[in-house]
Amino acid sequence: MRRLVAGLLAALVLTSCAAPELSQNGPAERVKKTQTKKASPQQPDATASVRRLAKGPVSNGWRVSRIVDGDTVDVRRGRRTLTLRLIGIDTPETVHPTEPVECFGPEATQFAQRRLLGEPAALEFDRSQGRLDYYGRTLAYLWTTEGSPRQFNLDAVRRGYALEYTYDSPYLWQREFQRAEALARSARLGVWRCTRPGS
């Protein structure tokens, strides 16, 4: 019996002596390695990316709260709401009080709803166009800022949901919009399948 107890005590002593050696390769060592591992670089902030991509002044922190039609939307920041008339585009009518619903108008509105409603956004302004239109709507390019920033105005023209529209004077993105429209027209995308696009 004494030999059994002595054997157990010897085993315990050997185990306790080995424990510090194990702990060096155990959790303590893993914590140390984790602490010395470099943090992965953060993704650039989408609104900072909009500032780099934009050609005009930018206002951040908005969210699209309502779609009027394909080229007119409401955005909200805090308690403030703006109605935007999107620069450089014209979509077929769907809500004009004296005009009929035009070819591809409902599809253009649905495209805006799918892409914009509820989305965080940044507004880009264009000094060449002024800040407000005749009806008091804010004139802007609308950038979505969830993930990689995208300019909705240009996307709408590129995909055939809008026609390029120069109101009175050239605007900052006019060349890009005109190129996008030429490509959409040649591919007969969206509104370019209509007999009389934009009417």
**How confident is the model over 123-182, as pLDDT tens digits?**
999 999 999 999 999 999 999 999 999 999 999 999 999 999 999 999 999 999 999 999
Delimit the domains of the chain by residue range.
Answer: 2-33, 46-193
For residue 7, what pLDDT is reported? 52
Indicate if 66 belongs to the active site: no
Regarding the domain delimited by 46-193, which CATH topology (the fold level of the hierarchy) does it fall under?
A: OB fold (Dihydrolipoamide Acetyltransferase, E2P) (2.40.50)
Identify the active-site residue in 115, 137, 158, 164: 137
Identify the active-site residue in 85, 102, 115, 181: 85
Indicate if 93 belongs to the active site: yes
Identify the active-site residue in 93, 102, 164, 181: 93
Q: pTM for this one?
A: 0.76
Indicate if 124 belongs to the active site: no
Among 3-7, 54-58, 93-97, whose mean pLDDT is lowest? Answer: 3-7
Q: Which amino acid is at 116?
A: L
What mean pLDDT is predicted for residues 34-40?
38
Taking 70 as the threshold, does the pLDDT of residue 103 lie above it? yes
Distance CA 67, CA 101 (A): 16
Distance CA 59, CA 45 (A): 14
